[in-house]
């Protein structure tokens, strides 16, 4: 039985959401972000891949969301549980188990462009098969009795059936749609076409969350103004500037006060705090220095773009032979 929406997904209009990202938004990362930058209105787990065989472990499902997150009601209420599934996977069993965990918000990943994921007919591939897509949406909706949303792209190969898919989600009880304004085949190339976000807002009555090429406060303001979307989800822009939500809530009404010089002057200070708090959380789960260094390097792709000789600066961090050397470069930035 399809549930009638009782609350607004992602809260009142104007929310900023830290996007789910595989290998990034695990429990330690989300805890560090929530402590450092509580101005982010919502967070999400990285996707839980629904298995095709084997027993469903409630313990594993709970750990993916995060034991500490369950115990901290304020963070739990701001956290979405994202899953990635296929036609052959044990979707019903997993969703029932998540429902019993008393998670408030479940999101289905229909935007992942990974070649491996799509070869197994998951992620964005499902946008190319409306019948299979509808079946999976119904399974989730019938077995999860709280907020259920989807994260999509404008299409798989192209934008054919774009509006039909939007209507399918609305008709089947999905309560909000996050739209990354590229096709799967575009990956992250070119510029996201925000006109699709605007079109989605016009074609469905449920909230639409804009996503794609939001890198700074000016982009946030422009997407809200141009697209009329309910909220904005930020991925790569959040990796580049994890404190972006803080900047937006401080300066969105006074954009002239945000100069490039000011942004660069605070970047080094924030980077010190960022890596310090991340290390604290990773120590709690007993990650080794080598694993922490690997994580830090993976987060470094966009962080240093704004520095003079950014490529050289980033190269120093990526070539660090140990965690101490990485932290030395951070201290001398």
Residue 16 has φ and ψ, to the nearest 5°, of -115, 130
Tell me, what's the pLDDT at 297?
98
Give domain limits for the chain.
Answer: 15-257, 260-331
* Helices and strands of the chain, counted as H and E runs: 16, 9
Mean pLDDT, rounded, for 59-85: 95
Question: Known catalytic residue: 112?
Answer: yes
* 15-257 is a CATH 3.30.390.50 domain: no
Tell me, what's the pLDDT at 1?
41
Mean pLDDT across the chain: 94
Measured CA to CA, the distance from residue 14 to residue 246 in angstroms comes to 14
Measured CA to CA, the distance from residue 323 to residue 293 in angstroms comes to 5
pLDDT at 155 over 50: yes
Q: Which two tokens stand for residue 47?
A: 């996707």
Tell me, what's the pLDDT at 51?
95
Tell me, what's the pLDDT at 6?
57
pLDDT at 277 over 90: yes
Annotated catalytic residue within 98, 112, 127, 174: 112
Mean pLDDT, rounded, for 109-127: 88
Measured CA to CA, the distance from residue 159 to residue 138 in angstroms comes to 23
pLDDT at 189 over 90: no
Measured CA to CA, the distance from residue 107 to residue 50 in angstroms comes to 13
Measured CA to CA, the distance from residue 154 to residue 295 in angstroms comes to 31
Higher local confidence (pLDDT), 20 or 3 = 20
């Amino acid at each position: 039985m399809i549930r009638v929406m009782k609350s607004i997904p992602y809260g009142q209009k104007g929310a900023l959401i830290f996007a789910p990202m595989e290998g990034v938004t695990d429990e330690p990362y989300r805890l560090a972000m929530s402590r450092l930058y509580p101005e982010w209105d919502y967070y999400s787990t990285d996707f839980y891949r629904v298995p095709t065989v084997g027993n469903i472990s409630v313990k594993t499902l709970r750990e993916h969301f995060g034991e500490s997150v369950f115990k901290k009601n304020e963070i739990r209420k701001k956290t979405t549980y994202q899953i990635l599934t296929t036609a052959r996977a044990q979707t019903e069993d997993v969703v029932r188990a998540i429902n019993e965990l008393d998670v408030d918000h479940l999101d289905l990943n229909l935007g992942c462009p990974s070649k491996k994921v799509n070869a197994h007919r998951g992620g964005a591939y499902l946008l190319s098969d409306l019948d299979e897509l509808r079946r999976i949406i119904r399974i989730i909706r019938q077995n999860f009795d709280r907020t259920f949303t989807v994260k999509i792209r404008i299409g798989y190969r192209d934008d054919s059936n774009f509006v039909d898919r939007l209507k399918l989600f609305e008709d089947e009880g999905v309560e909000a749609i996050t739209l990354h304004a590229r096709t799967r085949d575009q990956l992250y190339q070119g510029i996201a076409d925000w006109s699709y976000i605007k079109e989605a807002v016009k074609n469905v009555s449920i909230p639409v969350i804009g996503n794609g090429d939001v890198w700074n406060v000016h982009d946030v303001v422009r997407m809200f103004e141009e697209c009329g979307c309910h909220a904005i989800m930020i991925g790569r822009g959040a990796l580049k500037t994890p404190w972006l939500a803080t900047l937006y809530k401080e300066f969105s009404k006074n954009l002239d006060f945000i100069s490039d010089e000011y942004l660069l002057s605070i970047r080094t200070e924030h980077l010190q705090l960022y890596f310090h708090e991340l290390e604290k959380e990773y120590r709690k789960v007993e990650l080794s220095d080598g694993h922490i260094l690997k994580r830090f390097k993976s987060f470094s792709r966009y962080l240093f773009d704004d520095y003079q000789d950014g490529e050289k600066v980033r190269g120093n961090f990526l070539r660090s032979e140990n965690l101490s050397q990485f932290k030395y470069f951070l201290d001398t930035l």
